[in-house]
Amino acid sequence: MSLAARIRDRRLDAAPTRAQSVAFGASGFPIQLMAQTFSAFVVYFYVAHLAVPAEWVAAAMIAHGILNALLNPLVGALSDRIRTPWGRRIPWIGLGIVPLVVAFALIWMPPALSAGGLIAWFLVVVAVYDIAFVVVVLNISALFPEIFRTTAERSRGNVPRQVFAIVGMILGTAGAPLLYDSIGWPGMAIALGLVCLVLFVWSFAGGMLERRGEVALEAPMKWTAQLRYTFANRAFVPYVLGSLFVQTAIAVILAAIPFYARYSLHAAEGESSILLGVIFVVAIPAILLWSRVVQRTSPRTAVLWAVGVFAVAVLGYLVPGSVLGAALVGVAVGVGVGGLLQLLEVVLAQIIDDDAARTGHRREGVYFGVNGFVVRGSVVLQAVVAAWVLNASGFDAALGDAQPDAVDGGIRIMLAVVPMAFTMLAWVCFFLYPIRARDVVAAP
């Protein structure tokens, strides 16, 4: 039997096995490893290492953000409409993995060019990376509600995926500097690229499956109907706004912690890694906790509790005067973060089931795509909040550690009060979420 025939015949007829769930979850590691490495170090690499003017890199990053946001709903809608013998999602993923890994590696391996040539290289390679990233990641996300069909299945199936994702986050931010310090940027690119390729191949071969006959007889929905049904969905609108507010709160915390460690706690710059690490390490066992909670309640109830825990926990950052005290606050914050990582996609999967029951169409792609488009706004909100708080408090980088007294208060407000405010807005949105049941009977 040919490879194409074997892929075509690899269909899911029942609940996935544990091995399939773990293999599917393994995709979370390379996705987050690449995403975190890119977001944490690409500006530093091109500005500090390659001496490209900072304003050029900033403009290129804005273009990257706009392209990424626009691609999400477009690729999602196309993915929902495609019909092939191998399924709707599998061809996109299979064709996109290698270009994604190669483009990621090439970002860190530019040829010897002038500053103008380097920024042109950046724009072209990052555009390929963006397209491949959205194509692969969105279609993997769209498989999640199809592979796991009940809240119980989804809560269990999302555990390995989020654990792999958190490990990828940690290694993307902590492991990359160790690699480029020891083997150089090209060596780092090749090493991380090979690891990502191996994990993607394992996940693709062992866990990425589509349901047999899922949409074989279903006519694709028209573009106008796609948009109308999505934005008119009474469950999706509060969900996506709540998700935006949650993502903004987390983004503000991640941006504020380095300032908090240096200017509020008067600790060494490197100790901000401790504060960040505590959050993500605690989030791993917390994912298991929230998996049990959602199985015993409902997605709406569980996410309301998780958002509430997170909102209360972040206020703790107002108090500590030491790294140890702030790390203890981070333990409580990590419990909330674990819940949000575990539950947001479970809730979105329920919305997709409800939509399928009402429309007769499974439209995972467009829902994940529009969600991705909206939550990209968290990057803009985070930048606006950080700039406003720092300027209002009188922060001046030229003063070094000798900042005005108001800076400490401003940073504590940015780290605690602002995220709490965004999180409470999210709580209101999820309170308005109309689906109370644990499971929705979806159209087959």
Q: Report the distance separating Cα 316 and Cα 325, nearest Å.
A: 9
Q: Is residue 312 scored above 90 in pLDDT?
A: yes
Query: What integer pLDDT is reported at residue 2 of this predicted model?
Result: 53
Name the average pLDDT for the chain: 85
Confidence of residue 244 (pLDDT cuts 50, 70, 90): very high
pLDDT tens profile 30-75? 999 998 888 777 877 887 778 888 778 878 878 887 888 888 888 8
pLDDT at 140: 93
Cα(144)–Cα(293) distance, rounded to whole angstroms? 20
SS3 content of the chain, % helix, strand, coil (to 5): 80, 0, 20
Query: DSSP secondary-structure letter at 222?
Result: P
Per cent of the chain over pLDDT 70 is 91
User: What's the pLDDT score for residue 369?
Assistant: 83
Q: Which pLDDT value is given to residue 10?
A: 64
Three-state DSSP state, 211:
strand
Place of tokens 């091109």: 46
The CA–CA distances, whole Å, from 19 to 25, 67, 87, 118 equal 10, 36, 21, 44
> Is residue 311 a contact partner of residue 256, using CB atoms and an 8 Å limit?
no
Q: Which residue has the higher pLDDT, 6 or 289?
A: 289
Q: What's phi and psi for 214, nearest 5 deg?
A: -60, -45
Q: What is the dihedral of CA 293, 295, 301, 306, to 10 degrees?
A: 40
At a CB cut-off of 8 Å and minimum separation 6, what does 116 contact? none
Alpha-carbon torsion 263, 267, 273, 279, what sign?
Answer: negative
Is the four-CA dihedral 403, 407, 408, 411 of positive or negative sign?
A: negative
pLDDT tens column, 208-218? 888 765 554 45
Q: Give the whole-angstrom CA distance, residue 427 versus residue 389.
A: 24
Neighbours of 53 (CB within 10 A): 13
- Report if pTM > 0.85: no
Q: Which residue has the higher pLDDT, 132 or 382?
A: 132
pLDDT at 249: 92
CA distance 367 to 416: 31
